[in-house]
Amino acid sequence: MRIRILHRDKQVSPEMRAYVERRLLFALSRFAPKMDRITVDLSVKQEPKGEAMTSCEISIALRRSPRLDVSVKEADLETAVARAAERAGRAVARSLEQKQAAMQPISHSIR
């Protein structure tokens, strides 16, 4: 599982990189064998009211499955990363469960 972290507005600090990796590993490590790569895109945008809104977009490339994208906007970058990682974990679990359910043979009763 490769993790790539980008920040559109500036370079990612080592502390922020470590925080993002820690949150992603906590949320996604159990699915590591089924993932190829994870891309995290961080950005800060000015809202019309003058306040800054940070966003965290996570893109997950699963093996033999479509790519999953999660996007979260929050006032605080750490909160955006934490919520996006949690959502990504739930999205991967749901996707893998659906894939496994589709592969299960349908059993018919002969009664």
Q: What is the pLDDT of residue 52?
A: 82
State phi, psi for 71 to the nearest 5 degrees.
-135, 135
> Does 63 score more than 90 pLDDT?
no
Domain boundaries, the chain: 2-103
pTM value is 0.84
pLDDT (0 to 100) of residue 65 = 81
CA distance 77 to 44: 8
- Residue-level pLDDT at 111: 64
Q: What is the pLDDT of residue 110?
A: 66
CATH value of 2-103 in 3.40.309.10, 2.40.100.10, 3.20.20.20, 3.30.160.100: 3.30.160.100
